[in-house]
Amino acid sequence: MSKFQKYISKIRGSKDGKVLIANFGYLTLLQIASYLFPLVTMPYLARVIGAEGFGKIAFASALITWFQTVTDWGFNYTATRDVARNREDAEAVSRIFSTVLWARCILMIVSFLVLSVLIVCVPVFKENAVIILVTFLLVPGHIMFPDWFFQAMERMKYITIFNIIIRTLFLVCVFIFVKTPSDYVLQPLFTSVGYLLCGLLSMYYITRKWGYKLQLVKVYDIWKMMKQSTNIFVNNIMPNFYNSFSVMLLGMVGGNVATGILDAGSKFVNLSQQFMNILSRTFFPFLSRHIEKHRFYARINILCATAISILLCGLSPWLIHTFFTPEFEGAVSVLRIMAVSLLFLSLNDVYGTNYMVLRGYEKQLRNITIISSLIGFAIAFLCIRQWGYIGAAVTIAATRGLMGILTILYIRIIERK
């Protein structure tokens, strides 16, 4: 028996190992659903709403991503870590859960006010006001559905069940109601309604079934938790300067069709990234208590990312031609370029989120993210104006590469010290 096999057997025999394997099993089921449902709906949506509809949805989603990141404020990592470490103390868990919920509600109200001003003052936002406002409903939906809490409690079964409910509702509604190109606005609406319904069900389980209390908290406690999560918030929002911004800039410069082609080429990479996030979410609460197991996690994550990246590069023509119409032909090149970035995202996750955050190096990770994102923000103007959607794909992939390389270089410095 190899050393790796012995290590697997040891994990399976421990209590933490059994929980880890069960959680990974549930999230693997979720990932299968995450692949299956889009594979069913993408060809239909591509035929009905076309590249222009895809582009409008992508533009609105890129804008709302900023506000969603603001309402998260890094709690999806810091609160997950804190609950995972205090989950035997029901009072502490209730206090953390309540503080995060009220903080996110306040941030949502502020975000909506800012968005309203932008829609009134910025012409391109005013032109797309309906799709932007409908897409904003995702923000309260994500707040109501606290998947970070289920992750912290290592009850991934509920994340899986609720997400499958959301996706099933979305699939049924798409085929029933989306009939013409003008129905593109219904896509984010159905997703938002699904999150809101599952959010209500989540609150029932958390407060009624499990007995955790939703408490009124002091403003000082909210401010204190936000301050503790600021470094993670900066680390989370800075990638928007090259990622979401590239999509928005492409929409302004190249139009909705170019944005739709970029979005189509990114679909399979985003689905694969969701699988990598499953690994991260499964191991994060476990590593917060057993950081010595990090090397094992790193091997699994990087191996999976490499295999998926190679697979997507090889299958890119078949994937685009199978699931999209001929007007999406340019998405083949986008997919090949974006697939390479999966390996760098893996490095940033393995040695950034699941190591530096847990070891207390949030500031250092924040600085790496700021430097990389600002460089990406700068090159986006040149690349997108010069090469359109190809330039946007190059900007995103190159910036992720820089971020991954800088992260692992910093870890090497730490190890030497």
Tally of CB atoms within 10 A around 14: 11
Task: Determine the angle formed by the axes of helices 294-323 and 331-348, rounding to 10 degrees.
Answer: 170
Amino acid found at 60 = A
Q: Where are the alpha helices (DSSP H) in 73-89?
A: 75-86
Residue range 65-90: mean pLDDT, rounded: 85
Q: Is the per-residue pLDDT at 65 higher than 80?
A: yes
pLDDT confidence of residue 17: 58
pLDDT confidence of residue 34: 62
Coil, strand or helix at 106: helix
Q: Is the per-residue pLDDT at 9 higher than 60?
A: no
Q: Is the per-residue pLDDT at 145 higher than 60?
A: yes
pLDDT confidence of residue 10: 54
**Average pLDDT value over all residues in the chain:** 84
pLDDT confidence of residue 276: 78
Q: Is the per-residue pLDDT at 38 higher than 80?
A: no
Q: Is the per-residue pLDDT at 1 higher than 70?
A: no
Tally of CB atoms within 10 A around 289: 12
| Contact by Cβ (8 Å): 18, 295 | no
Distances (CA, A) of 53 to 43, 49, 243: 13, 5, 20
- pTM of the entire predicted model: 0.78
Residue range 366-392: mean pLDDT, rounded: 91
| Contact by Cβ (8 Å): 250, 384 | yes
Q: pLDDT for 160-180, tens place per residue?
A: 777 788 778 888 888 889 888
Q: pLDDT for 376-386, tens place per residue?
A: 999 999 899 88
Residue range 267-285: mean pLDDT, rounded: 78
pLDDT confidence of residue 401: 92
| Contact by Cβ (8 Å): 154, 171 | no
Phi and psi torsions of 188, nearest 5°: -70, -30
Which of 137, 126, 119 has its CA nearest to residue 68?
137
Q: pLDDT for 19-28, tens place per residue?
A: 667 666 776 6
Top pLDDT among 113 and 221 is at 113
Q: Is the per-residue pLDDT at 120 higher than 60?
A: yes
Which of 160, 151, 155 has its CA nearest to residue 83?
151
pLDDT confidence of residue 114: 95
Range scoring the smallest mean pLDDT among 51-60, 324-333, 349-358: 349-358
pLDDT confidence of residue 396: 92
Q: Is the per-residue pLDDT at 67 higher than 90?
A: yes
Distance separating alpha carbons of residues 22 and 24, to the nearest angstrom: 5
When pLDDT is cut at 50, 70 and 90, the band that residue 4 belongs to is: very low
Contact residues for 26 (Cβ-Cβ < 8 A; gap 6+): 156, 157, 159, 160
